[in-house]
Structure 1
Amino acid sequence: MPRIRNDPNFNICLDYASINFANTRAQLINENVDEEQAIQLLRNIWQANNETDKVLWQQQLAEDREQREHAQRIQEDEQERVKQERIDEEDAARKEERKKNKHKYIPILDTGIPDEPSVTPCSMTDAMVLSTLADGSTAWISSASARNAKSVINDENLPFEEFCQACPRFLVALEEANWPEDRIRMMALFWRNIQVHKYRSLRDPIAQKTLLVYQAEQRRRWHVAAKSSTGPYNISTVNEKVLADTREKVYWEERLKRDNARDYKVSL
């Protein structure tokens, strides 16, 4: 059936009394039908046809609406299929990630930094360290790479203010690397407690150096423990005993550097 292009509800009956329809009227006029009756008959025929078109128009609108809704359902079903397919792929990838890196998802133990580092069979070479590159950017690299790369500054050797600026960047990097939320929160609190510790406000230059060395060492040790039978403990709270031991070590290391520099000058 041909489509109706215009809404018949807005159609206006033709002027069958005009000269344009004189021939049509003449064909209807006889001894029982005069001209006025012929005009009315034409009007009635037009009205009946228009009423039929109105019914067909509504049917056409309903069919068009049904086709649009059907097409929309197909599109929505396809979008849902693609979405579910993506979810399934991501879920499979997460399961594979958890399978390959079980240590990454082991719950953090409700214990803090131990007073003495645990002895573990794995080495420190694969621990990730927070370092600044020569161009000023920051990156996670293995501790082995840090020792071998001349263009890398270990975070314990950064000025304290640069360390503070780097921490938020690394939290973003952790999120982009899909670290579990509990570990991101722990690291955020860990660095916050380092930055607000009373050592930072002391005039003693050894104090801030101690904080940097402490956070670098404890983070590396945490990575090692997380991959060992010890499991990941919570490093967010500063262990004051370990910090005091670190300060003692930093003091003697700095004193040894000064003594060596003095002896070198004397030898010259």
Structure 2
Amino acid sequence: MKTILIATTAAALVLGNSAFAAGANKIPSAKASTVVSDTVLIEAVGATQSADEVLHTTIKVPEQKEMIFDVSMECGLYTNTLVKSKGGTADTSTAEAAVDVNVAYQMLQKDGSWGPKVYALPGGDGKGVTFCQRKQELMAKFQGIFQQCDVTDPATGECLQYGSNTCLITEGVDTNGDGVHDSYTTTLDIDCLAYEEVGLVLSTMNANAFNFVAPNLQAGIYRVAVEAEISSGTTAQAGSSSAKALIGRGSLVVDESRFVQP
């Protein structure tokens, strides 16, 4: 991942974890810190995965204050549903995907290790904020294609060419047994019918932002990380479905502040 690290005071430093144990006290205080990514951070197809860290930075808080985290990211969703029906039987397919975002922070301990992870508000329970979400459901009830298939794709089983013969079966009825048809009956051969299909594909990308807050912080050095979790799920009967979500370019701005106390 290509990232750009920025500190908004001239003397501020943003360091990796390995440098903290040796020189933590040498990190100047900074009012704000920023990290920016210009690449796709997470992409998942048809699966649910645990929260992954996508952006992180560090900041030294000189005294008891609050921190405000401004998280902005591109959020993309792709859902595809296909239904197949014949004989008046309903068919349903669903596809859903979502991206949830959290901000977690840890205080540097005296031994150089990071303390317990704490989640910023809202989402202090670790559930986070939903940046984007979609549930797509498609249902159809079709009679089916009446023409018999003349040419079938051997690889997929799909009909490539329908002929002139239909799935209607006409039979003569001899009511008095004289060998002459007195009437005719027409029935539909359900097994002969081919599926009618309809599909719906939606693909969207938008940029969203949300502010998180960490109240009543002690003075010290903090590691701030943005965590994102992608979830997706699909269901299908005769048809098919797929879902995909991604997090694109994003930024994290950390700003210290002093709130009005009640």
TM-score relative to the length of structure 1:
0.19
Structure with more of its chain in helix, by fraction = 1
Higher RCO (CA < 8 A, seq sep 6+): 2
Higher CA-based Rg = 1
Structure with more of its chain in strand, by fraction = 2
TM-score relative to the length of structure 2:
0.19
